[in-house]
Every structure is written in structure tokens, then in C-alpha cells.
Structure 1
Amino acid sequence: MRVLVTGHEGYLGGVVTPRLLAAGHTVVGLDTGLFADRVLGPAPPPVDTLRGDVRDVTPEQCAGVDAVVHLAALCNDPLGDLDPALTDEVNHRATLRLAAAAKSAGVTRFVFASSCSLYGAGAAGVKLTETAAFEPVTPYGESKVLSERGLWALADDDFSPTCLRNATAYGFSPRLRGDLVVNDLTAHAVIAGEVPLRSDGIVWRPLVHVEDIAAAFLAVLEAPREVVHAKAYNVGRSEENYLIRDVAELVAEVLPGSRLSIAAGAGHDRRDYQVSCDLIQAEVPAFVPQWTLRAGISQLAESFRRFGLTSDDLATGRFQRLARIHELRRAGLIDEAMRWSRRP
């Protein structure tokens, strides 16, 4: 297939794109370039790139494409909280604009990077399935709910959207995000010998390795249309739900010599949910997740050491998404709408 991947220069894109190429698909990337030079280790293989904002995609840019993998977004709660109206514009309205453009151009498959964040404050002690009620507690989570609803409205005999509700991602990508909980805890353990909890750690979160997310996108793209048409799937492993405090303790265990600490001002996180990922493994058997949290922590630590991650990398906008946006704004390179004023 010829696949348009939005956000191919982001954290997920740095792993999804090579996976699609290795499977023999042709990839065209679309990215505004906010994080294009944020690379740790060897850069992913280059692909033909449309340099533009996902808010501006036209049907002409989708011509000749068989499938869209839509990853581009304001990718976490801190970014989403910065400007809720902008989050709605980028994550929700632009998603539906892109889907409509793709449908108009004759694209038949659309795979959307949704999130388990839409469950928000799920029922304690219950692994939520895809039929669970949505309880988003942040603008980011709300944007995923609205996007999914809009995509279902576009589904018909000629256009098949599938929503992958990714668990909280972790693991090494050459386009690293240091603001993800497992990546953050492991990085501090490697660099400073400290595992700093930034909340009280007594909430549940499902976790999934970025390589398994990439495997899910590939498996859904290649699955029979009638199986995945207008379907949503939780992506991860049902066994990989963790209390955040237990995650921190496992990091300290895997990396001897590091110690667990509670960051000053740590409070309670309202996001608290577990999920079941049984449906995707039952309906899309080509998706076989490979990673456990313990193995992922070891992979991260080895990669951080090999590629020389530094304390400055953790404190600046090199791999912290919100810090990067603030840096670009202070430099006058992007405006309040996160559009380029001038490119460096």
C-alpha cells in the first residue's frame, strides 16, 4: 500500500514508519517539523515528506494514497492543557478535516491514533473494554472522544476508519519523548541514580511499548477490511496494567543503585484506569505484542547509555514536548497557534 503517515517525525512516527517500510509499504510523511531535528541515535530512514500542518491538508495531497495512518497531534495532557481550544482544533477538528479530505480523494483505510486517555477516570478494579463509558478528565482525552465520534460518522462502504486506543506509550524511539512516565523514570535513574515520582503513584495506568503500537498499526492496515471497519481497539496487553508507584519500584529494581523518591509537590493524578486488550488480539491475530515493562525498561536504559542521553536533554526542549513549544515561542519561531512564523 501507499500510506500517508501524519506526524511521521514524532515519537510514534519514528517507529511506525520503519515498520511499514520493512513490511514493503510505501510511506509518504506529512509533518510540520516542530520536532524534526529532535533525534537520539541514528535517524529513522528518510521518506518523501509533505512539509505542512495537518490542519491544512487538502484532498489533492491525499491523491494516490491507499491508507492514512494519522499520528499527528498535540500528544499529551500538558500540551493539551496549554490551550484547550487549540487542542480541539489540532486534535479533533483537524482529524476530521483530514479524514474528509482522504475520503474525498478515494482513500479507503484510515487508522487513527486514539488513546486510552478517553477512559479518564475508569471504574476502579475493572479492566475496561472498548464498550466502556468515556470519562475524559483533560482536553487531550476529550479531543480523542470527539475525533472517534466524528470518524464513525464518516464511515461507509468506501471509507473504513479504525481507532487504536493506545495505552500509555513507553520505549525507545529515535524521536524520543522524555515526558512519558516510563521513559522519564528510566532516564533519571540512568543519569542521576534517582527514580522521581511526580505524583503519589497510587493510580492505575495501562502501558504499551512503542514497538507494539507500531505492530498494531501494521496489523490493522493489513487486516481484512470487514474485520476492522469502524472498530476501536485498546492497544497493549491486558497483563500490562500497573500502579504508577509499582512502575517506579520496578525501574529501581531493574537499575540497581537507583533510588525511589517522591518529587516535591507530588499530588494525585485524576487519570486512573485499567484496560483489557483482549479484543484486538482476538480479532486481529497478526498483532502479537512482544514487550513487557521489565524488558522495555532494560531497552531504554541500554539505549540511553549507548546514545549518551544527558541531564540537559531532560531539562530542555530536546525531548520534552512542552518545553520545546515554549522554546520555539520565545524564539519567535512559532506563534500562539503553533504555526511557524519563520523556520530556523
Structure 2
Amino acid sequence: MSGIQRVLVTGGAGYVGAVLVPALLDVGHEVVSLDTHWYGKDVLDAVAGDERLEILEGDIRDPEMVRKAMAGCDAVIHLAAISNDPSADLDEVLTKEVNLDAVKLLVDEAVSAGVKRFVNISSSSVYGVREEQDVTEDLELLPLTIYSRCKCDVEEYVRETSKAHSGFVGINLRPATVCGWSPRMRLDLTVNILTMHAWRNGVITVFGGAQKRPNIHIADVVEAYVQSLGWPAEVVDGEAFNIGYENHTVMEIAEMVRSEFADGEVDIIVTDTNDPRSYHISSEKISRLVGFEPGHTLRDAVRDLKRAFDSGSVQDWDDTRYYNVKHMLSLGVGEPD
């Protein structure tokens, strides 16, 4: 789509946002980052001096702040959320406010502001636990949690809004679990956790192991989000796309991580799990319709993480900002089980 210059990124200081914002600047966009900065204000320091970047601290539940952030924007890439199932379970009322109600407000304001394209970042967890060999976009969604139910409801709202308003292109993207290094690092995601445990402890603890976890390198999801601003409207309007690459079991990922360390340096211990989530997504549609192909492997992500750890990029492993649930509890959100 031509004419997209100024882009609002909600959650611009989050794990993916902190990589996406510089990427958008690199290809010439003006960017507005709207974030609560719950996890710190410094993650965009490397680009904070760029005159094309406006950094706003605010909440997507605040209509005035949303209108301020949206002013003059041609597109929205919506990342902001109470992210992942455990975090969302801490306070279901808050989760609904942020992950559903506020997003409907965001979509409505985007229409009113004349935004041309709204890229909604959903989740592959909307499929629930599946037995199909290839989980494709045309399968019925079977959300298991408040997090994935909100994602489903938002997808429907974006789709219906795009149908109702000519010139407003709504896209739903369902990424696999993201992995790799970010200035706003998360150490509570599968590949990142296993690599951290290997590096710090020489032991990887695998809970279960047989459940499949589709993963994708952070550089690849960022590239998909950047490219989505230019995909043909007639092809993508109202559509949903999986964004994945490698579907491995947790045990296979653990073995991959171990192989990046010296022989005998890392052990694997297997224990039971009460987390049944298992899904393996197909990314054939996004490849066929818009030509998107990932360029990085999970092994690349492990190597990037190990390199960052070796260089001392993580100074305090106990900093709660690396762990969403711990940090939300430190902010007074919810109570531990």
C-alpha cells in the first residue's frame, strides 16, 4: 500500500516493539511509540534521538492518549497487551480491559482518524491444543485461556471493521512464540528460557517435552510486520496469517540448545508438566499470498542469545523486568497461585 509514512506502534517499548521501532525507522517511516513503559524507558535509547521518532508514555485504555498518538498516522501496528497466558491469568479484569476493550477503542479511533491500515498482532495460541498435522488459518479457533479468547474477539472486531469501512485495511497476524535477543529482553519464553538455563546453570529443565511449540526468530516477525504495511490490500484485507517457521517439541529445542555448548557442558532433566498446550502451525498461506519467508532459524536465536550472555548484556538475572509474571506481581497486579 502506497502512502504509509507515519506508523503508530503500540507496545513500542516491549520485547518485539523494541526491535520493530528501529526497523521501521531504518526503512524510512516516521514512528510513534505508545507504551506504558512498565518494563523500562531505556529500551529505545539507541534511536531516541531520531527526529522521526515520537516516544509517548501512556496507556491504550486512555482515549485522549490514543487520539494524541493516532494523530497524523497512516497505519497502526498493534502490539500492546498483557502478554501471554500466565500474565493474563493474574487479573482477568485487567486483561479484558487491555487486551479487548482498549483494542476496540484503538480500532474505532483508527477509523475516525483516517488510518489506512491496522495490523493487529494476535497469537497462534488461538488454535488451542490441536491434533491436526498442519494447523491452518481456516480451522476453527479453540482458545483455552482469557488471553487467547481476547485475541479471538479482537480478530473478529478487526475483521468486521475492515468489512464495514472502505479504505480501512485490517490484518490479523498470528505469530508463533518469538525468540531471540531484544533490548527489552524476555527470559520467560521457551527458547530464551532454555538457553538461559544452559548458560547459567549448565542444566536445562524440560517440563514435559513432547508438547510442540512453534517458534520464530524475533528478526523474522519484525520483518513480517514491516512488510505487512505494503502487502496488497486486495489480498490481505480482513485476512488472518500464521507467522511461524520451525515446529519443534520442547525436548527437541532443548537438544538444539545443548548442542551449541561444549560436549558435557549442559545436562537435560525432564520433569512432569500440567501445561497441555501443544500446537504446530502452518505458514503456507503467508508464503503463498504475500511471499513472506523467514530468514533465521531457532539455532540462530540460540547463538544470538549465547553471544549476548557471553558479552555481559544481562547484568542482573533476577531483575523482574525479564520475567513478565514476576514483574507484574512487583507492580501489584494479581496474586501468585
TM-score by length of 2: 0.91
The residue identity in structure 1 corresponding to 2:14 is G
Q: 1:181 maps to what in 2?
A: 190
Q: 2:275 maps to what in 1?
A: 269
Structure 1 distance, partners of 2:232, 2:297, is 28
What are the Cα deviations for residues 140-189 of structure 1, in whole angstroms up to 9, with x where unaligned?
11111111011112113121110110001101111111110100110111
Structure 1 residue 44, shift from structure 2 partner: 4.0
Structure 2 distance, partners of 1:181, 1:221, is 29
Residue 236 (structure 2) aligned to one of 228, 232, 252: 228
Per the alignment, in what secondary structure is the counterpart of residue 13 of structure 2? Answer: coil
Structure 1 residue 111, shift from structure 2 partner: 0.4
Aligned positions of 1:1-344 closer than 5 A: 1-37=5-41, 39=43, 43-46=45-48, 47-57=53-63, 58-124=66-132, 126-155=133-162, 156-197=165-206, 199-237=207-245, 240-256=246-262, 257-262=265-270, 266-285=272-291, 287-309=292-314, 312-313=316-317, 315-329=318-332
Structure 1 residue 288, shift from structure 2 partner: 2.9
Calculate percent identity across the aligned residue pairs.
Answer: 38
Structure 1 distance, partners of 2:45, 2:187, is 17
Q: 1:339 maps to what in 2?
A: none
Contact 1:77 1:139 in 2 (8 A): yes
Structure 1 residue 37, shift from structure 2 partner: 4.1
Name structure 1 gaps, 5 residues minimum: 330-334, 337-344
What are the Cα deviations for residues 198-232 of structure 1, in whole angstroms up to 9, with x where unaligned?
x2111112111111000000111111222211111
Per the alignment, in what secondary structure is the counterpart of residue 50 of structure 1? Answer: strand
Structure 1 distance, partners of 2:20, 2:259, is 30
Structure 1 residue 267, shift from structure 2 partner: 1.1
Structure 1 residue 3, shift from structure 2 partner: 0.1
Structure 2 distance, partners of 1:44, 1:320, is 23
Structure 1 residue 323, shift from structure 2 partner: 1.0
Contact 1:44 1:174 in 2 (8 A): no
Structure 1 residue 138, shift from structure 2 partner: 1.5
Contact 1:318 1:324 in 2 (8 A): yes
Q: How many residues end up aligned between the 2 structures?
A: 321
Structure 1 residue 309, shift from structure 2 partner: 2.4
Structure 1 residue 55, shift from structure 2 partner: 1.0
Structure 2 distance, partners of 1:220, 1:308, is 31
The residue identity in structure 1 corresponding to 2:286 is I
Per the alignment, in what secondary structure is the counterpart of residue 156 of structure 2? Answer: helix
Contact 2:12 2:34 in 1 (8 A): yes
TM-score by length of 1: 0.89
Contact 1:179 1:320 in 2 (8 A): yes
